[in-house]
Amino acid sequence: MIKSLRFIVPLLLCFSVSVSAQKSSIKFVVTENKLNTEKGEQPAYIIHIPDAGPDAVTKEWLKAIRGSSKSKPVQIENKIEITATEIEQIHDQPFNIYSMVYQVDTSVRVVAAFEIDSVFFVPPGDESDHEAMKTHNHIRKFMEDFAREQYHEVVANLLETEKDKLKDLEKEHKNEVKENENLKKEIRENEQNIRNSNDAITTYENDNARLLADITAKRDAIAGLSGDEALRDQAKDQLKSLEKEKKNIEGKLAKEQKNIVKYESNIEELNRQVEANEKQQETTRVSIEAQKERVKQVSDHLNQI
């Protein structure tokens, strides 16, 4: 039977979701049109589920139209039918549903025709037929409830996504703050290194001055030992030792001076990184506040469904 089933549904704007500031509610609107089946063109009900995916909606629709029956829907692509389903919300006896689920722009459209007591149900033209109106309202409620549940799931998933984005931003900001603390720690370490180098330089300069005085005194002593070669040679060895020590001190002094230049350069670069980091922190803070507002909006919207 399903192989020969044909569906033709005019492109109608048949769904509206509105958020009213006064009512704070979302309204799902079911409309009516025609659906071509193997039994001809039949009355059908139509509803849209915004921002949904056809696969997810189809999966839930297959469950919904089974009701409490053991009947299994037959699906070929986006065409679905079920016979002898039992949905007491609509009718107290088994009936058939011919339906179609497919994407329309950013929404999923669900179209359904209901064959009850071997006759396709025709929406009543007025309210005088109370039994028909009751069934009509039951069908509308069934489809509205289905759409609302699916849209609730869509928005709930969106809320989780937006919350995850917020968590990522907060984590990013936390990392930026930590990075800034590490940068400032490095600055303090370099400043301490400069102080240490300056202390070392003071010590080396004092040692250098002392050695210079010792070397000068030793040279004068050698000059006065012209008649004693043994003492003169001994004094020359001592002079060489003093000069070697002085050269070593001067090397250490030059190294500390170079270190200070390096530490100062490090501080300059680290200060630039701190400035850039703090600007980035501010950008991230703004993004966090915007994302918090986004989460609130989606959460409020979810509560209105």
User: Does one domain contain both 87 and 197?
Assistant: no
3-state secondary structure the chain: CHHHCCCCCCCCCCCCCCECCCCCCECCCCEEEEEEECCEEEEEEEEEEECCCHHHHHHHHHHHCCECCCCCCEEECCEEEEEEEECCCCCCCCEEEEEEEEEECCEEEEEEEEEECCEECCCCCCCCCHHHHHHHHHHHHHHHHHHHHHHHHHHHHHHHHHHHHHHHHHHHHHHHHHHHHHHHHHHHHHHHHHHHHHHHHHHHHHHHHHHHHHHHHHHHHHHCCCCCHHHHHHHHHHHHHHHHHHHHHHHHHHHHHHHHHHHHHHHHHHHHHHHHHHHHHHHHHHHHHHHHHHHHHHHHHHHHC
Nearby residues of 166 by Cβ (< 8 Å), 6 or more positions away: 288, 291, 292, 294, 295
Domains contained in the chain, number: 2
CATH number at residue 208: 1.10.287
What is the full per-residue pLDDT of the chain (305 aa) written as tens digits? Answer: 443 333 333 333 333 343 323 233 678 999 999 988 888 899 999 999 999 999 999 999 999 999 999 999 999 889 999 999 999 999 999 999 999 999 999 999 999 999 999 999 999 987 778 899 999 999 999 999 999 999 999 999 999 999 999 999 999 999 999 999 999 999 999 999 999 999 999 999 999 999 999 999 999 888 887 777 888 889 899 999 999 999 999 999 999 999 999 999 999 999 999 999 999 999 999 999 999 999 999 999 999 98
Instruction: Evaluate whether 98 touches 38 at the Cβ level (below 8 Å).
Output: no
φ/ψ (deg, to 5) at 227: -95, -10
Beta bridge partners of 41: 36
**Residue 152 within any structural domain of the chain:** no
Environment class of 270 (CB within 10 Å of its CB; exposed 0-12, middle 13-18, buried 19+) = buried
**Residue 212 within any structural domain of the chain:** yes
Tokens of 112: 């359904």
Which of 82, 282, 104 lies closest to 177, judged by CA?
A: 282
Domain containing 257: what range? Answer: 160-304
User: Does one domain contain both 204 and 112?
Assistant: no
CATH number at residue 27: 3.30.310
**Residue 133 within any structural domain of the chain:** no
Which of 139, 145, 31 lies closest to 85, judged by CA?
A: 139
User: Does one domain contain both 78 and 170?
Assistant: no
Environment class of 200 (CB within 10 Å of its CB; exposed 0-12, middle 13-18, buried 19+) = middle
User: Does one domain contain both 11 and 109?
Assistant: yes
User: Does one domain contain both 299 and 179?
Assistant: yes
φ/ψ (deg, to 5) at 202: -60, -45
User: Does one domain contain both 165 and 298?
Assistant: yes
